[in-house]
């Protein structure tokens, strides 16, 4: 015994550290394969159908007169916009499916990070979870400040805004707490 009391339960699991996945992370060969698969599937099964559908709907709305066409370029700008929005909506709609594919990888640091991130969000209160280094503290101080001097400098440099009081009274055209000093001093009769 080294003089320290051990308060851990004998059968308690020690959580593994979450692997750091940053900009310098190099994916494994299996992760690269899943990235390519996700990119290909999200394009063909989500982006292309949503882009085509949004373009057809937009053209239909223009044909019925609900949307107006451009005098010089016709329906092309609106169709291009609908295509781009459909493309990105398709890519975004595939994110959860792709995350599940990474979570199912056995020896993947990226999959491990996604699994532990999900476990951290769904853990019951009081359960051990590793706090992110980007989380801000409860006291309102910035997590980027490294010293009390940096925190005080931040408070001095950033302006402090006072909220304007709001009233839902009968006269909603003039908010309360703001007065027009010029109009009060003049008599226009």
Q: Which of 53-62, 78-87, 103-112 has the lowest mean pLDDT?
A: 103-112
Q: How many CB atoms are located within 10 Å of the residue 52 CB? A: 13
The average pLDDT across 152-167 equals: 60
The mean per-residue pLDDT over the stretch 150-154 comes to 55
The answer to whether residue 185 scores a pLDDT higher than 70 is no
Query: Is position 6 within any domain?
Result: no
Q: What is the pLDDT of residue 188?
A: 59
Q: How confident is the model at residue 137 (pLDDT cuts 50, 70, 90)?
A: very low
Q: Is residue 172 part of a domain?
A: no
Q: Does residue 126 lie within any of the structural domains?
A: no
Rounded to 5 degrees, what are φ and ψ at 74? 70, -140
Q: Domain of residue 75: give its range.
A: 29-119
In-domain check, residue 71: yes
Residue 154's pLDDT is what? 56
pLDDT at 187: 59
User: Can you say how many angstroms the Cα of residue 83 is from the centroid of all Cα atoms in its chain?
Assistant: 23
Q: Does residue 40 sit within a domain?
A: yes
pLDDT (tens digit, 9 = 90+) per residue, 37-62? 999 999 999 999 999 999 999 999 99
Asked, for residue 23, whether it belongs to a domain, the answer is no
* Residues 8, 6: Cα–Cα separation, whole Å: 6
What pLDDT is recorded for position 130? 47
In the chain, % of residues over pLDDT 70: 51
Closest CA relative to residue 90, chosen from 39, 48, 36: 48
pLDDT tens-digit readout, 63-72 = 999 999 999 9
Are 49 and 143 contacting, i.e. CB atoms less than 8 angstroms apart?
Answer: no
Any domain includes 3: no
CA-angle at 47, arms to 46 and 53, nearest 5°? 90
3-state SS string over 37-88? HHHHHHHHHHHHHHHHHHHHHHHHHHHHCCCCCECCCECHHHHHHHHHHHHH
Is there a domain that residue 51 lies in?
Answer: yes
Going by the DSSP 8-state scheme, the letter that residue 90 receives in this structure is H
- What's the number of domains the chain is made of? 1
| Residue 24: predicted pLDDT | 85
């Amino acid at each position: 015994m080294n003089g320290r009391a051990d308060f851990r339960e004998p059968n308690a699991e020690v959580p593994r550290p979450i692997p750091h996945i940053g900009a310098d992370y190099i994916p494994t060969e299996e992760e690269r394969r899943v990235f390519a698969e996700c990119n290909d599937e999200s394009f063909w099964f989500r982006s292309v159908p949503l882009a085509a559908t949004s373009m057809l709907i937009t053209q239909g709305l223009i044909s019925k007169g609900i949307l107006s066409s451009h005098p010089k370029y016709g329906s092309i700008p609106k169709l291009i916009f609908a295509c781009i929005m459909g493309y990105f909506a398709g890519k975004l709609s595939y994110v959860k499916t792709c995350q599940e594919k990474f979570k199912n990888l056995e020896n993947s640091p990226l999959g491990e990070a996604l699994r532990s991130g999900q476990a951290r969000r769904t853990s019951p209160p009081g359960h051990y979870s590793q706090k992110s280094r980007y989380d801000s503290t409860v006291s309102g101080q910035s997590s980027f400040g490294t010293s009390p001097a940096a925190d005080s400098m931040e408070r001095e440099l950033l302006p402090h805004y006072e909220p304007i009081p709001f009233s839902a009274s009968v006269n909603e055209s003039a908010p309360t707490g703001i007065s027009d000093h010029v109009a009060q001093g003049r008599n226009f009769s």
